[in-house]
Homo-oligomer: A and B are copies of this chain.
């Protein structure tokens, strides 16, 4: 085996070589062979251990873990399993990550958009959700599931435990599956708003919720401090799903044979770092927390800069990697957009990229309350470039406000 060659020891630390051997032991046929369609059992066990530790000891069963090629295929498995025909509806937050609208459309279901409350930091309005679910049922739609994204994409909010508890009670009453998009769980920037998993809240609520509300949570190596999005590694944990449905999910996952083995290895590295107390663990933790703290600084700087601009307001990015500022455009600007035959947010983003090179996405790509206009940007530019980017934005916005002021 290549790992036995002494030259390997001059290239990699001893802990890394040991880790590679452990990983190889999870793939008895090698990484070039198919694994179990749900992923290598050894890695699914590591994921379950990670979840248990994260949730303060709430048990996690590796039989409920499916490794996947990133989180997107996992979301698609679940939506494909849930949507039978055009009468099935899925509650999806607005603004949303377009994976949901695209997959629901491909699967032939109905997207039931529920608004996040911008004035409440993109929070949930569960009473409004109830009204919406009842109305959808009355109109003949079978409400099958509710998607929530926590921390939010593109909105950046972190849901507190009580909001999650309300959501779980809603799911219990309305008998809908909760789809918890928790891919940004490591990306949190406000100590007052830590990530709390839906599963932990569910366990804490006790019966009748804890053993009956169906919950599927998604995670990935593409975000957090790992950021290895090209490798396509992820997992889902399915809780309280009926055994017959789990069998169907296994069958659906086996159509694609197995998730890619290198992505599985990346999941392993994300959920199980170097052994505690080793030098490698110290170095790893320093890199990890350094990455997150840098994102934290950037998240603050971006919101601050947006809010300093006339005509722009922006909720804090408590988590994830985005800001979704609102553009309060003067009537003359709206008229100019109309004259150009474009929606105001698209008109704005096109001018922004042409004049400054700053590439953003119009809010309409994610959905927004009618009559409001936003753009989405990421907090990912390196810190030495971010200041210049926000200064360029501020100059662009000031010029635009002057040009279209009444």
**Which residue numbers of A lie inside 8 Å of B, CB to CB?**
2, 5, 7-8, 10-11, 27, 29-35, 69-70, 72-73, 76, 80, 85, 99, 102-103, 106, 108, 222, 227-232, 251-252, 255-263
Contact = CB atoms under 8 A, between A and B. Distances in A.
Nearest to A86: B85
The 9 closest A-B pairs by CB, nearest first: A232-B260, A230-B261, A32-B228, A262-B262, A7-B10, A260-B260, A7-B7, A33-B230, A72-B256
26 contacts: A2-B11, A5-B10, A5-B11, A7-B7, A7-B10, A11-B11, A29-B230, A30-B230, A32-B227, A32-B229, A32-B230, A34-B229, A69-B232, A73-B256, A76-B256, A80-B106, A99-B255, A102-B251, A102-B255, A106-B252, A222-B257, A230-B260, A232-B260, A260-B260, A260-B262, A260-B263
Nearest to A221: B32
A27 B229 CA distance: 13
Contacts of A27: 230
Give the number of times this chain occurs in the complex, counting copies. 2
A231 B32 contact: yes
Nearest to A35: B230
Contacts of A8: 11
A252 B99 CA distance: 10
A2 to B, nearest CB: 7
A85 B34 CA distance: 33
Contacts of A32: 227-231
A78 B106 CA distance: 12
Contacts of A7: 7, 10-11
Contacts of A106: 80, 252, 255
Nearest to A99: B255
B258 A230 contact: yes
Contacts of A252: 106
A43 to B, nearest CB: 13
